[in-house]
């Protein structure tokens, strides 16, 4: 039986970086589930389908040639490749346009079904850290370990500011964006971001990355 670790959390909580590091420490794969929603969004945008046109999106999904594969990069690190029609999408799914579109398509039940099926398949076959928003609650309710990561909105805004190399004057704008994203993530009709009853809650506002990683690892006994 494969071992599954679910990591959910708020935007800017560092869950992506933390999930990748944990995977490295444990020798697991790391599945970035947001990348699946981003890839679907890319396919929709690329096919010039209006984001409101659920019928056309549904048809596109039915015939979508998409898969997630794991490969070793030059440093021997496992990396996730998101392959659409045989092409590795790479950074094409990381633009602002695709971020926006992915948050729209992620609301559609048949898109969530499509993404969840891929996640189940990978979780069944591999020891994997699955990082997202509905992993411990919906996708893998029986995961071996579940964590919910967050930090105060101020700390997350500050991290984002540094990450994007923005001046201090932009702090309030970034703070507002993070609050709005929290609201959207937590209040959408299906699979909203919420803490699974049996998840370990990690507020890393006052922790360094290394401290958070050690803290999480202290719970994982395999
Ligand atoms: O984590 P991210 O920014 O790459 O996610 C892209 C979008 O996908 C985001 O708007 C939320 C959505 N998403 C989701 O609904 N469920 C997940 N498990 C992961 C991401």
Nearest-CA residue for ligand 1 atom 16 is 133
Specify if 166 maps to a domain: yes
Q: With a cut of 90, say whether residue 190 has pLDDT above it.
A: no
Please tell me the total count of domains within the chain.
1
* pLDDT number for residue 112: 96
What pLDDT, on a 0 to 100 scale, did the predictor assign at position 96?
84
Ligand 1 atom at shortest distance from the alpha carbon of 131:
18
The answer to whether residue 125 sits within a structural domain is: yes
Average pLDDT, the chain: 95
Output the CA 195–ligand 1 centroid distance in Å: 16
Q: Is the dihedral of CA 49, 53, 54, 59 positive or negative?
A: negative
Q: CB within 6 Å of ligand 1 — which residues? A: 33-34, 37-38, 102-103, 106, 132-134
pLDDT digits (tens, 9 = 90+) for 147-185: 999 999 999 999 989 988 999 999 999 999 899 989 988
- What span, in angstroms and rounded, lies between the C-alpha atoms of 63 and 8? 30
Average pLDDT on 179-202 reads 91
Per cent of the chain over pLDDT 70 is 100
- 19 occurs within a structural domain: yes
Q: Which residues contact 177 (CB under 8 A, 6 or more apart)?
A: none
CATH code of the domain containing 209: 3.40.50.300
Q: For a substitution probing ligand 1, which of 103, 180, 185 has the most ligand atoms within 8 Å of its CB?
A: 103
pLDDT tens for 69-89 read 999 888 878 899 999 999 999
pLDDT of the residue at 164: 87
| Interval 6-35: pLDDT, tens | 999 998 899 999 999 999 999 999 999 999
Confidence of residue 61 (pLDDT cuts 50, 70, 90): very high
Instruction: State residue 163's pLDDT score.
Output: 86
- Structural domain contains residue 135: yes
Q: Which residues contact 61 (CB under 8 A, 6 or more apart)?
A: 40, 110, 111, 114
For residue 111, being part of any structural domain is answered with yes
pTM: 0.94
Question: Strand, helix or coil at 84?
Answer: strand
Query: What domain range is 114 assigned to?
Result: 4-33+96-217
In a domain, 73, yes or no: no
Is 213 part of any domain? Answer: yes
Q: Which residues contact 38 (CB under 8 A, 6 or more apart)?
A: 82, 89, 93, 94, 98, 99, 102
In a domain, 40, yes or no: no
């Amino acid at each position: 039986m494969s071992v599954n670790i679910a990591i959910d959390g708020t935007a800017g909580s560092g869950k992506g970086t933390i999930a990748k590091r944990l995977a490295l420490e444990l020798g697991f794969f790391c599945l970035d589930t947001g990348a699946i929603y981003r890839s679907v969004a890319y396919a929709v945008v690329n096919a010039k389908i209006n984001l409101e046109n659920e019928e056309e999106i549904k048809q596109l999904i039915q015939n979508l040639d998409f898969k997630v594969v794991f490969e070793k990069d030059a440093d021997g690190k496992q990396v996730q490749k998101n392959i659409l029609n045989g092409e590795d999408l790479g950074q094409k799914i990381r633009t602002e346009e695709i971020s926006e579109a992915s948050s729209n398509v992620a609301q559609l039940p048949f898109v969530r079904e499509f993404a969840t099926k891929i996640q189940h398949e990978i979780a069944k076959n591999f020891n994997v850290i699955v990082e997202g928003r509905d992993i411990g609650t919906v996708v893998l309710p029986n995961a071996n370990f579940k964590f919910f990561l967050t930090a105060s909105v101020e700390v997350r805004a500050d991290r984002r500011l540094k990450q994007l190399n923005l001046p201090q004057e932009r702090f309030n704008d970034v703070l507002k964006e993070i609050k709005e994203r929290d609201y959207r993530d937590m209040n959408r009709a299906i699979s909203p971001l919420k803490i699974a009853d049996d998840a370990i809650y990690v507020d890393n506002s006052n922790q360094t990355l290394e401290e958070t990683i050690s803290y999480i690892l202290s719970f994982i006994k395999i």
